[in-house]
């Protein structure tokens, strides 16, 4: 992890993430905070850089693999969650997140390719998807952070239907981009409906001339 620490300013690090107690400590410490984070493979310093208006939820997304970078997920499965740390690089107000995330992505992409899990060097580059009403309001700074407590208005928050299918998203040349535990999660990422996701899965057509969507692992 030496090269990561030499490159990035680490404010705080949460490790032993395979332990429930450590997860609870991290989530409690990050409650209501927004900023830039990294998920780092401790032995090598290989990392994923991201941002969130709600860091407490984002750390659990990565741990539970509900909405996480496919390259990072594969590494966690290979090495084990105990080999990774969730680190905070900078706390910032929601309206500054994209600008600050780009700063840290520029640093990350100045390193060797084998030292990063990110696929895309651009912040907030999810097919041009717009933020949800809640995220837009929160990022504008017009409402307090605690107005959006986890799951407050959704009894299914954090739950996945028993019949949900894993959705894999690939680039045109079959490079893994993202994976999701349900069509609903994939639809949110793609800024479309679950019906559209289902149609593209069945047809095998390219989504918006950019991505392939599948319920199975694809190979070129």
Domains present along the chain, CATH in parentheses: 1-119+136-145 (3.40.1440.10), 163-220 (1.10.10.10)
Report pTM: 0.59
The whole-angstrom separation of Cα 76 and Cα 65 is 10
Task: List, in sequence order, every residue forming a beta bridge with 169; answer none if it has no partner.
Answer: 178, 213
| pLDDT in 10s for each residue of the chain, 220 residues | 778 888 898 999 999 999 999 999 999 999 999 999 999 999 999 999 999 999 999 999 888 865 678 889 889 989 999 999 999 999 999 989 999 999 999 999 999 999 999 988 988 644 333 334 344 444 444 433 433 333 334 343 344 444 457 888 888 888 888 888 777 778 878 888 877 888 888 888 999 888 889 988 876 5
Say what the alpha-carbon torsion angle 119, 124, 125, 128 is, to the nearest 10 degrees: 160
């Amino acid at each position: 992890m030496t090269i990561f620490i030499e490159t990035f300013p680490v404010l705080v690090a949460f490790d032993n993430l395979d332990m429930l107690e450590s997860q609870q400590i991290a989530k409690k410490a990050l409650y209501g905070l927004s900023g830039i984070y990294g998920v780092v493979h401790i032995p090598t310093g290989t990392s994923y850089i991201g941002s969130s208006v709600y860091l407490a939820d984002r750390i659990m997304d990565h741990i539970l693999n509900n909405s996480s970078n496919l390259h990072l997920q594969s590494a966690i499965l290979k090495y084990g969650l105990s080999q990774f740390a969730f680190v905070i690089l900078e706390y910032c107000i929601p309206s500054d997140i994209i600008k600050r995330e780009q700063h840290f992505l520029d640093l990350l992409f100045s390193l060797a390719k084998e030292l990063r899990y990110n696929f895309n060097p651009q912040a907030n580059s999810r097919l041009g998807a717009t933020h949800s009403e809640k995220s837009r309001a929160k990022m504008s700074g017009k409402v307090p952070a605690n107005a959006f407590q986890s799951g407050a208005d959704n009894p299914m928050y954090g739950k996945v239907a028993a019949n949900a299918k894993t959705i894999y998203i690939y680039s045109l040349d079959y490079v893994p981009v993202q994976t999701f535990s349900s069509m609903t999660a994939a639809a949110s990422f793609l800024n479309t409906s679950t019906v559209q996701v289902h149609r593209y899965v069945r047809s095998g057509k390219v989504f918006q001339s950019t991505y392939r969507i599948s319920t199975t692992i694809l190979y070129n």
